[in-house]
Amino acid sequence: MKFPKPQTLEQIAQIIDCEFVGSSNFPVLGMNEIHVVQAGDIVFVDHPKYYEKALGSMATIILINKKVACPKGKALLISDDPFRDFNKLTNHFKPFRPATAVIANSAKIGLHTIIQPNVFVGNNVVIGDNCLIHPNVVIYDDCIIGNNVTIHSGTVLGADAFYYKNRPEKFDKLTSGGNVVIHDNVDIGALCTIDRGVSASTIIGEGTKLDNQVHVGHDSVIGKRCLIASQVGIAGCVLIQDFVTIWGQVGITSGITIGEKAIISAQSGVSKSLPPNKSYFGTPADEFRKKYKEIASIRLIPDIIEKLDKLK
């Protein structure tokens, strides 16, 4: 998430009331999670296990809960609770704006696009040309939809990320300041849910087709011309490369990559990154040939036990 205009390190420190290390005029351009940070961004870290990763990332401002040596060319914001202060910054630069109309006045809708009855379109939404949005679709603030996109009834674009910090007294929610981006020629089935990014975009690539009841978690990126069948659940921060096929009821864990042209069979559970150009099934999902060998071996177990019993 980029700020509307560049800030200084001192200005950011004043917003969250914290100490800083670095020049007061050090430029701050935005804020992002670790997997999408760029130069000029703030990243937060609140556990020693991840200090090195955050300090060595592309981020040039680290919001951290301990005073450590500051890497050259970077700056620190020292906070007793970086998670809380990251939320403060999101709420400051991207505050919630209540709706004042069913289709916001700030929304931009392209030529020949049809919006059916009972569709909600939030603030600053952009919808391209020749789209068809069916009844009861909800499009939250800041979503961007390309040309020739069809979205079926009951789908929700841009709900908050499912991202919580487990505190002793409660689950504390990480505020979502990102959006959803749908590229050209995408079809989205009925009752799909695509969550907004925490600080960046959840993206559905050009020509991809989603069946009914598909869930896409925050900050996930789906490539072009993918086919995703009904009841697939994709967790946050997943990268699905181009031309991937995912059949029904597949579950995919967070933070992994599915390689180009991979095929994942129905009801598989994907718990690790999968290389491209192969077919997978099972839980945990693995390559077809390997999985069939495992199944064949398991079927031999009763015969092996019987033979061992006879030898006793």
Catalytic residues: 218
Phi and psi at 237, nearest 5°, equal: 60, 35
Token duo for residue 284 = 């945990």
Cα-based distances in Å from 44 to 50, 95, 116, 148: 10, 19, 42, 38
DSSP-based three-state secondary structure for 273: coil
Cα dihedral 141, 142, 146, 150, rounded to 10, equals -10
Interhelix angle 9-16/82-93, nearest 10 degrees: 110
DSSP 235-248: -TT-EE-TT-EE-T
Query: Rounded to an integer, what distance in angstroms lies between the CA atom of residue 77 and that of residue 18?
Result: 7
Fill in the DSSP letter of residue 36: G
Query: Rounded to an integer, what distance in angstroms lies between the CA atom of residue 61 and that of residue 267?
Result: 42
Fill in the DSSP letter of residue 49: G
Residues 234, 257: contact at Cβ < 8 Å?
no
Cα dihedral 12, 196, 275, 206, rounded to 10, equals -120
